[in-house]
Amino acid sequence: MCRLILALIFLTTPLGANPVDGVYDGFDCTAPVSDQRVTVQGDRLIYYESSCRLTDPQTVEGWEGATLYWANCRGEGQDWRERTLLMTRMGGDLIVVGDGWAERYAPCLNQQQGAD
């Protein structure tokens, strides 16, 4: 019984620090504001006008550093849910893949993370 309770607590606890936590940009990290910027902060993806909470992480067998999530998103007056894959490639770039799209973001090493 105790193991069951511990397992349920573990499964309902928000994700901790994500190995890809940081600020990334698709074009220019030096711009003060960018609609191509994404921040990964624990279980959150924070975009310019939307954010997503990542749930149900699943590693992708054979793809080192790739994790598939359900992303529960909100932005511009709408809510949506979609499968989202996060992975890094050599050099530290973040790759975000959704249904029918993929984006590459370079790490912004001099940017501080901030909560929305």
64 pLDDT exceeds 50?
yes
Percent of the chain clearing pLDDT 90 (strictly above): 69
Quote the pLDDT of residue 17.
57
72 beta partners? 53, 81
Predicted confidence (pLDDT) per residue in 14-53, tens digit = 444 567 899 999 999 999 989 999 999 999 999 999 999 9
59 pLDDT exceeds 90?
yes
Tell the CATH topology of 15-107. Answer: Lipocalin (2.40.128)
Quote the pLDDT of residue 112.
57
Q: How confident is the model at residue 6 (pLDDT cuts 50, 70, 90)?
A: very low
- Is residue 29 within 8 A of residue 111, CB to CB? The reply is yes
Structure tokens at 23: 């600020």
Predicted confidence (pLDDT) per residue in 40-50, tens digit = 999 999 999 99
Number of H helices, E strands in the chain: 1, 8
90-to-19, 54, 109 alpha-carbon distances in Å: 14, 23, 15
Q: How confident is the model at residue 4 (pLDDT cuts 50, 70, 90)?
A: very low
SS3 content of the chain, % helix, strand, coil (to 5): 10, 45, 45
Tokens 């990334």 found at: 24
User: What residue segments make up the domains of the chain, in order of their start?
Assistant: 15-107
Predicted confidence (pLDDT) per residue in 81-97, tens digit = 999 999 998 889 999 99
